[in-house]
């Protein structure tokens, strides 16, 4: 079995271990490539983003590991970059200065409270409910549509290499009580977002973290969204969004089986310095 994983977090953000420990585990599991994608800094207090003054050390540690293990695995330096209009994105000066190998672009923050604090949509549910009430007047449709609007804006104006956990906001749906994926407005928001992504020909990750953390029963994006993506020929990658080494390929086999059943024949990997499609099955890649 061989895989790759390009969405991983280390002790520079909300992970628990040095990047090197993740890389060692990747070698142990037989991965052919591994990317470290620590949460990028943001210019306001955050418990899970890397601090700006830690960026040079982060770059140094990953580049040193890249060289140290080059005969055993290809290591890539990335960041998961928050997109917040006029605040941070993939074209931010500090992102460009880091000379990353790739970026994963994600929406974690949607608008602001009256006091200026940015609203986290994937944190504790009570914080989600507070923002839903105070920013969107308890209108889940408005909040979710804004989330996907920001995703489209990111792809149009500050496009990453990979779109991270496309529909992660579904984790806050209260099993369909607050909002439901089968509602027409939700489907319309997804479809509009996929059209924007298809036009940009950007890769969308299939992220397994929601499953193994029991936040969802399906990956991000949901199977019905993946079916639409296949029809639209949107390229995909398979990522774990790992925060500790033993998560780096969690739920890959059943998720790959799902992708097979939907009809996907290839996933995209960063290998030999470029993103390229490779065949796969439930047992791994076939490079």
- Per-residue model confidence (pLDDT) at position 200: 98
CATH of the domain at 224: 3.20.20.140
Q: Tell which residue, 182, 245, 253, has the closest CA to residue 18.
A: 245
Q: Residue 198 has which token pair?
A: 């298809």
The pLDDT, as a whole number, for residue 135 is 98
| 3-state SS class at 88 | strand
pTM recorded for the entire structure: 0.96
Number of domains in the chain: 1
Q: Which domain holds residue 85?
A: 4-286
**What pLDDT is stored for residue 85 in this prediction?**
97
Note the pLDDT of residue 1: 65
- Between CA 42 and CA 191 the distance in angstroms is 30
Predicted pLDDT of residue 244: 97
CA-only gyration radius of the chain, Å: 18
Output phi, psi for 209, to 5 deg.
-60, -40
pLDDT mean by block of 10 residues, the chain; 287 residues: 94 96 98 98 96 98 98 98 98 98 98 97 96 98 98 98 98 95 98 98 98 96 98 98 98 98 98 98 93
Alpha helices in the chain (DSSP H): 19-29, 55-68, 93-97, 125-134, 140-157, 184-200, 209-212, 223-231, 252-262
Contact yes or no for 100/149 (Cβ under 8 A): no
Residue 165: is it exposed, middle or buried by C-beta count within 10 angstroms (0-12/13-18/19+)?
Answer: buried
């Amino acid at each position: 079995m061989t895989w790759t994983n390009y969405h991983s977090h280390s002790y520079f953000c909300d992970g628990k271990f040095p990047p090197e420990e993740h890389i060692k585990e990747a070698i142990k599991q037989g991965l052919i490539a591994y990317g470290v994608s620590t949460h990028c800094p943001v210019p306001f207090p955050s418990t899970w983003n890397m601090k700006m003054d830690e960026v040079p050390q982060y770059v140094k540690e990953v580049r040193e590991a890249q060289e140290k293990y080059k005969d055993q695995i290809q290591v890539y330096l990335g960041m998961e970059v928050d997109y917040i209009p006029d605040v941070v994105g993939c074209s931010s000066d500090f992102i460009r200065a880091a000379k990353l190998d790739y970026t994963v672009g994600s929406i974690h923050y949607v608008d602001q409270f009256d006091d200026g604090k940015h609203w986290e949509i994937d944190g504790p549910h009570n914080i989600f409910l507070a923002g839903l009430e105070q920013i969107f007047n308890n209108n889940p449709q408005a909040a979710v549509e804004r989330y996907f609007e920001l995703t489209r804006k990111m792809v149009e104006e500050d496009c990453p290499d990979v779109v991270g956990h496309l529909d992660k906001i579904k984790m806050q749906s209260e099993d369909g009580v607050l909002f439901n994926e089968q509602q027409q407005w939700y489907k319309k928001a997804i479809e509009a977002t996929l059209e924007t992504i298809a036009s940009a020909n950007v890769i969308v990750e299939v992220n397994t973290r929601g499953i193994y953390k029991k936040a969802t029963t399906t990956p991000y994006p949901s199977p019905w969204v993946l079916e639409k993506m296949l029809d639209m020929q949107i390229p995909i990658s398979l990522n774990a969004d790992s925060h500790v080494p033993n998560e780096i390929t969690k739920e890959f086999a059943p998720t790959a089986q799902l992708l097979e059943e939907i009809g996907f024949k290839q996933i995209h990997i960063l290998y030999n310095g470029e993103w390229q499609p490779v065949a796969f099955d439930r047992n791994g890649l076939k490079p």
